[in-house]
């Protein structure tokens, strides 16, 4: 009687045990000593065995890094990467292409060359996330179930939000936009090249949303000014930078430094100016300001569109439900471990993560190992103390041959990697060399899970 009762209870428990708990128990059994190791370095020595299925949505900087790190840490798992784009773009190089320093092919490669052995790549878009059913659906109608999901879909550029904007016309009539693609970054360079000869009104701006590499629009204003100076045509041009709020940069000390540099270089600043419309034929940009709409005529403009989560993410239960990151669909994760606050088997890394700072490849480098460590620990039925404190960096090019390597965290602390060697707020040649020569190899190593 007693025996039967126990069996009955066991079967009730096994019915309620979910697949994640089952996987944890299996991993705990097979991983043996690996379960006690907590640092990523230590754990990489012994692979953790598991039969879990991990889906990675998006195979850009964060998705590929995650796939490679997971492959190095786990054995027996099924990892599926899903992304329709076959090309891989080294986006930090877009600024260099638009500056005329690199050709468009400098930033182009293929996703496939970074996909680790054994990882399945599905070249499709995800159109629906159903976290309650632990599944995603692709454009062709496939439904793919997962035990863990890593969300790495980056962000989408919302050009449509700017009235009158036509992406096809980027590269014509002074309409530049280096964020769009390698081709349009190169087309933007062609416009800048012409503008540096003719002069006129150069208009720069940033959107009133979270954005990737918030330093890039500022860099581009400096680079334009430098090209004009080098051609002896600075006096022929008026340059203006339109900030979306009352600051040039989120870190106050950096804002002040940039404000002084803009003043020295005679680049005018408008605060609280948000691009709302553009007349491409008449070359007039219209900004919303606290005092109403303001028009600016331009001969050259670098349009930086609003940025939001991809529609499939925005329309799912995954974004923040309230607060500053809800409206644009940024995913509700814990800012220190990138784990979803409501769905513990989901992590979001890279630009899609709804965290206070850092939509940069530099953040990806520090976020992904933390998320991976928590995921692997979870597979083992363990916990991880890996912690991300918001590190991000911005190599702020101030002229050709000079940059400031600005690194900071969630608390606006400057966090220089080379204290005493590279001063964050000084315009240095060495910081320029890092941006133009060292960053790409570091980025590629990161994709391969080696950096």
Q: Is 355 among the residues that bind ligand FAD (CB under 6 A)?
A: no
Q: Which of 50, 71, 95, 367 binds ligand FAD (CB under 6 A)?
A: 95
Place of tokens 């993410």: 313
Q: Which residues between 304 and 333 bind ligand FAD (CB under 6 A)?
A: 310, 312
Q: Which residues between 213 and 272 bind ligand FAD (CB under 6 A)?
A: 213, 216
Q: Which of 178, 274, 370, 372 binds ligand FAD (CB under 6 A)?
A: 178
Q: Which of 31, 301, 333, 394 is catalytic?
A: 394
Smallest CA-to-CA distance from 243 within 257, 229, 258, 253 is with 258
Nearest approach in angstroms of CB 95 to ligand FAD is 5
CA gap 383, 31 in Å, rounded: 15
Place of tokens 């928590």: 374
The residues near 224 (Cβ < 8 Å, ≥ 6 apart) are: 192, 195, 196, 202, 204, 239, 300, 302
Q: Is 351 among the residues that bind ligand FAD (CB under 6 A)?
A: yes
Nearest approach in angstroms of CB 213 to ligand FAD is 3
Q: Is 137 among the residues that bind ligand FAD (CB under 6 A)?
A: no
CA gap 331, 32 in Å, rounded: 34
Q: Is 360 among the residues that bind ligand FAD (CB under 6 A)?
A: yes
CA gap 372, 338 in Å, rounded: 9
Alpha helices in 165-233 (DSSP H): 182-198, 216-230
| 171 included as an active-site residue | no
Q: Is 447 among the residues that bind ligand FAD (CB under 6 A)?
A: no
Alpha helices in 32-152 (DSSP H): 40-45, 61-73, 94-98
CA gap 444, 31 in Å, rounded: 30
Query: Tokens representing 51?
Result: 């039969």
Query: Tokens representing 97?
Result: 């292409």
Nearest approach in angstroms of CB 439 to ligand FAD is 7
Q: Considering beta carbons, is residue 46 or 334 the nearer one to ligand FAD? A: 334
Q: 119 φ, ψ to 5°?
A: -95, 130
Q: Considering beta carbons, is residue 35 or 439 the nearer one to ligand FAD? A: 439
Smallest CA-to-CA distance from 237 within 267, 200, 203 is with 200
Nearest approach in angstroms of CB 154 to ligand FAD is 3
Smallest CA-to-CA distance from 68 within 144, 11, 13, 121 is with 121
Residue 448's Cβ-count burial label (10 Å; 0-12, 13-18, 19+) is middle
Per-position b or e across 218-246, b if 16+ CB within 10 A of its CB: bbbbbbbbbbbbeeebbeebbbbbbbbee
Nearest approach in angstroms of CB 109 to ligand FAD is 12
Q: Is 339 among the residues that bind ligand FAD (CB under 6 A)?
A: no
Q: Which of 64, 178, 213, 338 is catalytic?
A: 213
Q: Which of 59, 96, 261, 370 binds ligand FAD (CB under 6 A)?
A: 59
| 394 included as an active-site residue | yes
Part in contact with ligand FAD (CB under 6 A); list of ranges 18-26, 92-100, 226-234, 379-387: 92-100
Q: Is 50 among the residues that bind ligand FAD (CB under 6 A)?
A: no
Q: Is 62 among the residues that bind ligand FAD (CB under 6 A)?
A: yes
Q: Please, are residues 209 and 306 in contact by the beta-carbon 8 Å criterion?
A: yes
Q: Is 364 among the residues that bind ligand FAD (CB under 6 A)?
A: yes
Q: Which residues between 141 and 160 bind ligand FAD (CB under 6 A)?
A: 152-154
Residues in touch with ligand FAD (CB under 6 A): 57-63, 82-83, 85, 91-92, 94-95, 125-126, 152-154, 178-179, 212-213, 216, 310, 312, 350-352, 359-362, 364, 395
Q: Which residues are catalytic?
A: 213, 394
């Amino acid at each position: 009687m007693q025996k039967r009762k126990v069996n009955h209870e066991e079967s009730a428990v096994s019915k309620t045990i979910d697949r994640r708990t089952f996987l944890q128990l299996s991993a705990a059994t097979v991983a043996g000593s690996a379960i006690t190791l907590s640092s990523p370095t230590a754990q990489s020595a012994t692979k953790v065995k598991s039969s879990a299925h991990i889906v990675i949505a998006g195979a850009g900087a964060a998705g590929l890094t995650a796939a490679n790190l997971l492959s190095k840490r786990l054995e027996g798992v099924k990892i599926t990467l899903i992304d329709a784009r076959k090309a891989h773009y080294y986006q930090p190089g877009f600024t260099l292409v638009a500056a005329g320093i690199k050709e468009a092919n400098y930033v182009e490669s293929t996703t496939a060359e970074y996909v680790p052995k054994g990882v399945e790549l599905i070249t499709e878009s995800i159109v629906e996330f159903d976290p309650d059913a632990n599944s995603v659906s692709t454009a062709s109608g496939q439904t793919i179930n997962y035990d863990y999901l890593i969300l790495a879909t980056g962000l989408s550029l919302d050009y449509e939000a700017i009235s009158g904007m036509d992406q096809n016309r980027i590269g014509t009539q002074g309409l530049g936009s280096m964020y769009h693609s390698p081709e349009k970054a190169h087309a933007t360079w062609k416009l800048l090249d012409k503008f540096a000869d003719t002069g006129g009104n150069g208009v720069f701006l940033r959107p009133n949303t979270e954005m990737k590499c918030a330093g890039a629009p500022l860099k581009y204003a400096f680079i334009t000014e430098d090209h004009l100076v080098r051609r002896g045509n600075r006096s022929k041009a008026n340059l203006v930078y339109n900030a979306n709020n009352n600051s040039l940069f989120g870190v106050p000390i950096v804002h002040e430094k940039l404000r002084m540099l803009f003043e020295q270089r005679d680049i005018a600043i408008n605060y609280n100016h948000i691009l709302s419309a553009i007349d491409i034929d008449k070359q007039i940009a219209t900004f919303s300001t606290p005092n109403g709409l303001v028009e600016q005529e331009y001969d050259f403009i670098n349009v930086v569109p609003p940025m939001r989560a991809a529609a499939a993410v925005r329309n799912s239960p995954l974004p923040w439900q309230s607060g500053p990151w809800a409206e644009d669909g940024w995913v509700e994760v814990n800012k220190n471990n990138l784990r979803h606050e409501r769905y513990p088997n989901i992590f979001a890394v890279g630009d899609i993560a709804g965290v206070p700072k850092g939509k940069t490849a530099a953040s990806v480098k520090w976020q992904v190992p933390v998320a991976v460590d928590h995921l692997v620990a979870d597979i083992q039925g363990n916990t991880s103390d890996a912690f991300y404190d918001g590190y991000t960096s911005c190599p702020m090019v101030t002229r050709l041959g000079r940059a400031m390597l600005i690194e900071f965290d969630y608390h606006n602390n400057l966090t220089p990697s080379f204290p005493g060697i590279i001063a964050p707020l000084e315009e240095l040649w060495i910081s320029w060399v890092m941006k133009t020569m060292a960053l790409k190899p570091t980025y590629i190593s990161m994709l391969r899970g080696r950096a």
